[in-house]
Amino acid sequence: MTYRFALIGCGRISKKHHDALRALPNAAIAAVCDIQRDRAESAGKRLGVPWYTDYHEMLEKETVDVVSILTPSGMHAEHTIDVVQRYGKHVVCEKPMALRLSDADQMIKACDAARVHLFIVKQNRYNKPVQKLRQALDAGRFGRIALGTVRVRWSRDQKYYDQDAWRGTWAQDGGVVVNQASHHIDLLLWMLGEPLSVMAKNGTYFSNIEVDDTAAAIVTFRSGALGIIEATTAARPDDLEGSLSILGERGSVVIGGFAVNKMDTWRFIDETKEESAAVVKEFSEMPPNVYGYGHERFLEQVVDCLEHGKHALIDGIEGRKTIELFNAIYESVETRREVFLHFDPHFSRLGR
């Protein structure tokens, strides 16, 4: 069976979905939609599929199995819930699944009620060095973990934020933690487990935007490990890194590169330096498409789940974990206090 995808949103990220879906033998793009006519028309003509400016019209006319929500972050919940309740379609939703925690809960509830899948895009989990790290964790090779760190040191100038009116706003975009560091924080949670509390600070330094361009947070995990989150779009003049480090009593791993895609350090007590060097060499080859590689693996699993009834690696429940931590970080920023999870956000500005 070929699964037909309809894409809502033809912005910056949509090309990654176009390329990934076209590379899969049992997936096809049925149609695309964007409220900006030029974007919709350009994508439709390039792909050779029908294009629309109203997704209701698209879903009423086209035969569709899955709807991909690629709209601004603040609209993910609205569009997901509407698509599920009106049309009963499976949904692929770009990160972050929502800005407000209550919206994430409503998305999960709506999909459960309609008995459809909700897949949250977390493509960096499929990067080969990340998969290798996860295997080591599952095998218990680290022993007790002391520290996990993510660093996102990217450059986003004013032109980037001025591309669309929603960028750099609390209501539709969220800050650097939610937009740029979303995948990295997901990896930190995937590796270290349940967070207990967080303390954070932020600032806006080099861009004229509502939200922050720089943030730092300390997370305490139930295991006792500490997590450090460093995120900025204020690196100048160019991007520096998107990295993940895990330090345990029996080994240390650092994955670097531009998008957590290059093994920098692999050292374990029970492994010789020669063995470690071989792993670093094997997992240091960057894929030709840093962003698109994981999207293809992710969407391949989406199709596999639908075809064989498998459980999704990243479903709504899994996606919600990062949303709660995002809100806890911004709750801490506003209150200047340590915030304990699980909680109901009162002061976080996300989605407002």
Sketch the domain layout of the chain as residue ranges: 3-123+295-315, 125-287+322-335
Asked whether the bond before 346 is cis by omega within 30 degrees of 0, the reply is: no
> What's the confidence (pLDDT) of residue 312?
82
Longest dimension (CA), the chain: 61
Query: Phi and psi (nearest 5°) for 172?
Result: -120, -15
Q: Tell me, what's the pLDDT at 231?
A: 98
Give the number of other Cβ atoms within 10 Å of residue 139's Cβ: 8
DSSP for 45-103?
A: HHHTS-EES-HHHHHHHS--SEEEE-S-GGGHHHHHHHHHHHH--EEEEPSSS-SSHHH
Question: Tokens 């560091």 belong to which residue?
Answer: 181
Contact (CB, 8 A) for 330 and 349: yes
Q: Report the CATH fold assignment for 125-287+322-335.
A: Dihydrodipicolinate Reductase; domain 2 (3.30.360)
Nearest to residue 172, comparing CAs of 230, 250, 103?
A: 103
Nearest partner of 111 among 66, 73, 141, judged by Cα: 66
What CATH class does 3-123+295-315 carry?
Answer: alpha beta
Compute the distance between CA of residue 280 and CA of residue 5 in angstroms, rounded to an integer. Answer: 37
Specify the pLDDT at position 82.
Answer: 98
Beta bridge partners of 118: 91
What is the per-residue pLDDT for 288? 55
d(CA 176, CA 233): 7
- In this prediction, the residues of the chain whose per-residue pLDDT falls under 50 are 292
- The pLDDT of residue 51: 98
3-class SS at 135?
Answer: helix
- The phi and psi torsions of 200 (rounded to 5 degrees) equal -145, 155
The reported pLDDT for the residue numbered 289 is 54
Question: Residue 313: its pLDDT value, please?
Answer: 79
